[in-house]
């Protein structure tokens, strides 16, 4: 197993910022940990590709908690890649599913 950080650079209030979603690689299966802010899908896709991995191998997304910088692009990922499994705690899953 290998874990790499995906540095995502973005500007907020005129300042350069970074978030670091992680990519877990196990054999040929990818798991993304957190999805960044809304509209970060392309930024994360580009980082995955830049690291030599193919998006078609993305099988899971783990959401650590329900904050904008962790869940913001989850909907976009699920729409574009409907085969992806979403993994979250029982408490967080209620918010992700829209139950709460």
The tens digit of pLDDT for each residue in 2-21 reads 999 999 999 989 999 999 99
pTM reported for the whole predicted model: 0.90
Per-residue pLDDT, 34:
96
The ranges assigned to domains in the chain are: 2-96
Q: What is the pLDDT of residue 90?
A: 85
| Chain centroid, CA 6 distance in Å | 10
Does residue 35 surpass a pLDDT of 90? yes
HEC letters along the chain: CEEEECCEEEEECCEEEEECCEEEEECCEEEEECCCCCCCHHHHHHHHHHCCCCHHHEEEEECCCCCHHHHCCHHHHHHHCCCCEEECCHHHHHHHCCCC
Q: How far apart are CA 63 and CA 38, in angstroms?
A: 14
Query: What is the band of 50 on the pLDDT scale with cuts at 50, 70, 90?
Result: very high
Round to whole Å and give the CA distance between 1 and 15. 35
Domain 2-96: which CATH class?
Answer: alpha beta
């Amino acid at each position: 197993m290998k874990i790499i950080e995906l540095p995502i650079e973005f500007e907020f209030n005129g300042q350069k910022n970074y978030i670091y979603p992680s990519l877990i690689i196990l054999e040929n299966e990818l798991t993304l940990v957190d999805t960044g802010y809304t509209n970060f899908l392309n930024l994360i896709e580009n980082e995955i590709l830049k690291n030599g991995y193919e998006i078609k191998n993305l099988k899971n997304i783990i959401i650590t908690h329900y904050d904008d910088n962790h869940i913001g692009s989850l909907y976009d990922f699920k729409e574009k890649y409907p085969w992806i499994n979403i993994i979250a705690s029982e408490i967080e899953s209620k918010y992700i599913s829209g139950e709460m």
